[in-house]
Chains A and B, each alone.
Chain A
Amino acid sequence: MAKYLLLKHYRGAPAAVNDVPMDQWTPEEVSAHIQYMRDFATRLEGTGEYVGGEALSPEGTFVRYDGEGQPPVTDGPFAETKDLIAGWMVIDVETYERAVELAGELSAAPGAGGKPIHEWLEVRPFLTAPPTISECHGG
Chain B
Amino acid sequence: MNPFWSNIFRKPGYEGTLAYFLGTVPPFSALGRRDLNFLETLIHLRNYHPGETIFSEGDIGSGMYIIRSGGVRIDMKDEQGQNKVQANLEAGDFFGEIALTTPMPRIGTATATEQTVLAGLFRADVLDALRKHPAIASKILLGLNRILSERLQHAGLRLHGLSYAHLEPSYEEQ
Question: Is the A/B pair a real complex?
Answer: no
